[in-house]
Amino acid sequence: MRKQPQHYFSSQPAAASREQRVRVEVRGLVLDLWADAGVFSAGHVDRGSLLLARELQLRPGMRVLDWGAGYGFLGLVAAQLCPECQVTLVEVNQRAAVLAERNARELRLPNVRVIAGAAPEALGDERYEAIVSNPPLRAGRQAVEALIADAATRLTPGGELWLVIPTNKGAKRYLQYMAERFAATRTVSITGGFRVLWARTADD
């Protein structure tokens, strides 16, 4: 039987480790991050994540979740932009989760914690004021819709979901799916073949 290829969202990547540093500048921040083979966007931060990082807006004191954090880029940017926020990174890929912890430690970000495991199961009943994600589209439409559906119940009243989706990979369809579950939705930005989508839960 032919062995199925592993993806970056596998728990234990099969690719041999090849650690490298990735430097990225965004919103006045300079991050030197550890990456590795077998994790998402190992050689550079992808354009979608960069766009979402540029558009993301947070309020002081928010509990923020980076869902599918990889080696941590989005969550670490959030933690630096909002030092009063408590930022949780959840990542199923064990190699990536270790890198995210290492990157948070080297950036000296005490407001970051990393959960190694598959969301939403690994999150238990935790709730957040904001969820950000560059979702794993290669895991399939069902996985992305499950993320959106879980966020609709996991976010606190007035909580916000921020996603980045390639325009040609169903961005409009996912925005409609969000509109069926959230009180408000909009497309924040359309740039370079990507769309940043935003949704907010109803207030009390």
Query: Would you kindly state where each structural domain of the chain is located, as residue ranges?
Result: 47-200
Q: Do 170 and 143 meet the contact criterion of CB atoms below 8 Å apart?
A: no
Dig out the tokens for 72 from the structure: 């941590």
Whole-prediction pTM = 0.92
Selected from 3.40.630.10, 3.40.50.150, 3.90.78.10, 1.10.3720.10, the CATH number assigned to the domain covering 47-200 reads: 3.40.50.150
With a CB cutoff of 8 Å and minimum separation 6, the contacts of 164 are 48, 49, 51, 52, 133, 134, 194, 195, 196, 197
> What is the model's pLDDT at position 185?
98
> What is the model's pLDDT at position 41?
87
Class of residue 60 by CB neighbours under 10 A (exposed 0-12, middle 13-18, buried 19+) = exposed
> What is the model's pLDDT at position 12?
59
With a CB cutoff of 8 Å and minimum separation 6, the contacts of 121 are none
Q: Which residues of the chain have pLDDT under 70?
A: 1-14
Q: Do 33 and 96 meet the contact criterion of CB atoms below 8 Å apart?
A: no
Q: Which of 176, 195, 199 is nearest to 186 (CA)?
A: 199
> What is the model's pLDDT at position 4?
33
